């Protein structure tokens, strides 16, 4: 999928065009991917309204491919009818959040287990580097969230399982609808760093049981922080 830069996100919030769509794709597919990327990157937050004419203007296309893309977003349940002529980015209720994190715990645990079995030494070195960068980070919660995604992505790639990768990619749609980041919760960056150290150490030791358990504990910690964020 095309990557939407921070400048593009800023421009979108100001009502300016997002720029060029991904080349080599049918227009409706390119618009759909751009909108998915925008939701995942936080350009559109839960509760935000999407209107055909606005998106068409921002992406500099006609309304027909936007209408097609909107239909696919509805099918994927990333949006819902918002009243009038627009759509609204969905906001997950508490039950959906619990269901999402239940699946994350299972799948992220499986990814860590497989990574411990298949990872190469260069990949271990990369994991250690990302974990150290996270622990040393003094950036914003959003900066920490990006490093967290890099770490999880590296584990998933090391798992060497395309079906698991696809399942986790599908979960990203639900995660995008959560809004905000758990690293804004007081104390969460510190506990997450500890959890990351345990995951990386277990994978580096090529201990599948320990790696799976550490990854599952990490997701349970993330859920606890998410529920705190929801209450606040």
User: Which domains can be identified in the chain, with CATH numbers?
Assistant: 6-89 (1.10.10.10), 94-231 (1.20.120.530)
pTM here?
A: 0.81
Q: How far apart are CA 39 and CA 46, in angstroms?
A: 9
Q: Which helix (H) or strand (E) holds 103?
A: helix 94-118
- pLDDT at site 16: 35
Number of H helices, E strands in the chain: 10, 3
CB burial of residue 104 (10 Å; 0-12, 13-18, 19+):
buried
The candidate with the shortest Cα–Cα distance to 214, out of 139, 109, 62, is 109
- pLDDT at site 90: 93
> Is-contact 112 155, C-beta < 8 A?
yes
The candidate with the shortest Cα–Cα distance to 98, out of 224, 231, 232, is 224
Buried b (16+ CB within 10 A) or exposed e, 8-22: bbebbeeeeebbebe
Dihedral sign computed on CA atoms, order 126, 128, 134, 136: negative
The end-to-end CA distance of the chain, in Å, is 33
Q: How far apart are CA 134 and CA 155, in angstroms?
A: 15
Per-residue pLDDT of the chain (232 residues; tens, 9 = 90+): 333 344 443 433 434 334 468 888 899 999 998 998 888 777 888 899 999 999 999 998 999 999 999 999 999 999 999 876 789 999 999 999 999 999 999 999 999 999 999 999 999 999 999 999 999 998 999 899 999 999 999 999 999 999 999 999 889 888 889 988 999 999 999 999 999 999 999 999 999 999 999 999 999 999 999 999 988 7
Q: How far apart are CA 228 and CA 212, in angstroms?
A: 25
């Amino acid at each position: 999928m095309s990557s939407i830069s921070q400048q593009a996100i800023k421009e979108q919030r100001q009502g300016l065009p997002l720029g060029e769509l991904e080349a080599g794709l049918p227009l409706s597919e390119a618009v759909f991917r751009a909108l998915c990327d925008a939701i995942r990157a936080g350009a559109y937050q839960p509760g935000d309204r999407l209107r055909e004419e606005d998106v068409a203007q921002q992406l500099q296309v006609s309304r027909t491919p936007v209408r097609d893309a909107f239909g696919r977003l509805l099918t994927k349940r990333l949006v819902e009818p918002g009243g009038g002529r627009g759509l609204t980015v969905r906001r997950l209720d508490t039950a959906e959040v619990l269901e999402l994190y239940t699946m994350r715990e299972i799948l992220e645990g499986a990814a860590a287990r497989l990574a411990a079995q298949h990872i190469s030494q260069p990949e271990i070195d990369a994991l250690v580097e990302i974990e150290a960068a996270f622990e040393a980070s003094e950036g914003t919660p959003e900066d920490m969230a990006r490093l967290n995604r890099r770490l999880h992505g590296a584990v998933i790639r090391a798992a060497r399982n395309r079906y698991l990768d696809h399942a986790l990619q599908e979960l990203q749609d639900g995660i995008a609808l959560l809004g905000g980041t758990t690293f804004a919760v007081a104390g969460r960056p510190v506990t997450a760093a500890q959890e990351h150290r345990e995951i990386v150490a277990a994978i580096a030791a090529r201990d599948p049981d320990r790696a799976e358990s550490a990854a599952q504990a990490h997701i349970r910690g993330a859920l606890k922080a998410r529920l705190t964020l929801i209450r606040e």
